[in-house]
Amino acid sequence: MVSDRGLEVLRAIVQDYVATREPVGSKAIVERHAFGVSSATIRNDMAALEDEELIAAPHTSSGRVPTDKGYRVFVDQLADMRPLSGAQRSAIETFLARSVDVDDVLARTVRLLAQLTHQVALVQYPQLAHSRVRHVELVRLAPRRVMTVLITDNGRVDQRLVELAAELDDDGAADVRARVNGAIVGSALTDAVVALRELPGAVPPGIRSATEQVAASLAEQIGQNRQDRLVIAGAANLVRTEEDFSGSIFPVLEAIEEQVTLLRLFGEVEADRNGVAVTIGRENAGFGLGETSVLTSAYTASGGGVGRLGVLGPTRMDYSNNMVAVRAVARYLTRLLGED
């Protein structure tokens, strides 16, 4: 059983090791922290922490470092969730408010998180199971070329060029646009795909070919938009912390590049009372990320779309700062994307 002072010693070890990357000894704790007891007393506390497998001695060093279990106790009981400063909140709002659409918002979000945490930042596109079609625009670029613009109620905008088999004039393009919008605006995405498949049979022969091609393109756009995707930034931060990994960091980089593993991990974590989910070290071993920690939080977009954002890095990371940053950015993203 670890005493209250022992837990505070664990807090000191985690904080000092994260800051210095050097094993922490009892003498350093006495010098850096106001415990008001001798080094011998701190050594006894450290012995109790070691018995509980919360700290360990790397090699033959006299100092100790936190274990995965120690980081878990720190996150669950000791991490300080101080709110961001006014200046930090203002910087987040100013940077993200300049976004022009949802793609830009998410790109800015991961850049911001990577800068705030010095880790790899990840954000998942909002899942579109409950999203609806807000509007479809059809822009005639040439007699046989149009551009479709699909806009969903969660703010996602997707455009595509369609090469037509037959020429289409301005009046025909306007007619196709009106019929497409009449068929699918306000519909859930799955229903919209069904309506698009049925639409060509209900239009005049003069625009049937163009309607069929436009409808097929839009159905494909909707299908792609429903797939989970991640936006990632800050991979260089992982390379800069390569010494924190006992083996090669290439499996971690491969998992980041493939995304499927991270999306599966995102889908299985559960947030704590602070709205942040933290998985540490061996808790991620089943995903091939046994030497990393992943911090995530959920956000909500308009139309009910839900996504997650977070950071990934070595287990030696500033959990308190990173948890606060992830939670704050997720909350602001919800406010921003939740606006109609």
pLDDT tens string 5-23: 999 999 999 999 999 999 9
Q: What tokens were used for 327?
A: 């939670």
Q: How far apart are CA 232 and CA 110, in angstroms?
A: 6
pLDDT tens string 232-269: 999 999 888 888 998 888 888 888 888 888 888 888 88
Residue 121: exposed, middle, or buried by beta-carbon count in 10 A (0-12, 13-18, 19+)?
Answer: buried
162: number of Cβ within 10 Å: 18
H helix or E strand, kind and range, residue 299: strand 292-300
- Does residue 244 contact residue 315 with C-beta atoms inside 8 Å? yes
pLDDT tens string 108-118: 999 999 999 99
Percentage of the chain exceeding pLDDT 90: 60
Q: Which of 62-76, 218-232, 235-249, 272-286 has the lowest mean pLDDT?
A: 218-232
| pLDDT at residue 340 is higher than 50 | no
**What's the pLDDT at 60?**
66
H helix or E strand, kind and range, residue 146: strand 145-152
**What's the pLDDT at 256?**
86
pLDDT greater at residue 67 or residue 95: 67
- Does residue 84 contact residue 202 with C-beta atoms inside 8 Å? no
Q: How far apart are CA 297 and CA 269, in angstroms?
A: 9
CA 331, chain centre distance (Å): 13
- The span from the first CA to the last CA of the chain, in angstroms, equals 53
User: Which are the contacts of 26, defined by CB distance < 8 A and separation ≥ 6?
Assistant: 39, 40, 42, 43, 46
pLDDT tens string 287-313: 989 999 999 999 987 666 678 999 999
Q: What tokens were used for 335?
A: 């406010």
Instruction: Go through the domains of the chain in sequence order and give each one's CATH number.
Output: 4-78 (1.10.10.10), 86-127+228-337 (3.30.450.40), 133-225 (3.30.390.60)
pLDDT tens string 120-178: 999 998 766 567 889 999 999 999 999 999 988 767 788 899 999 999 999 999 999 99
Q: Which of 199-203, 215-219, 251-255 has the lowest mean pLDDT?
A: 251-255
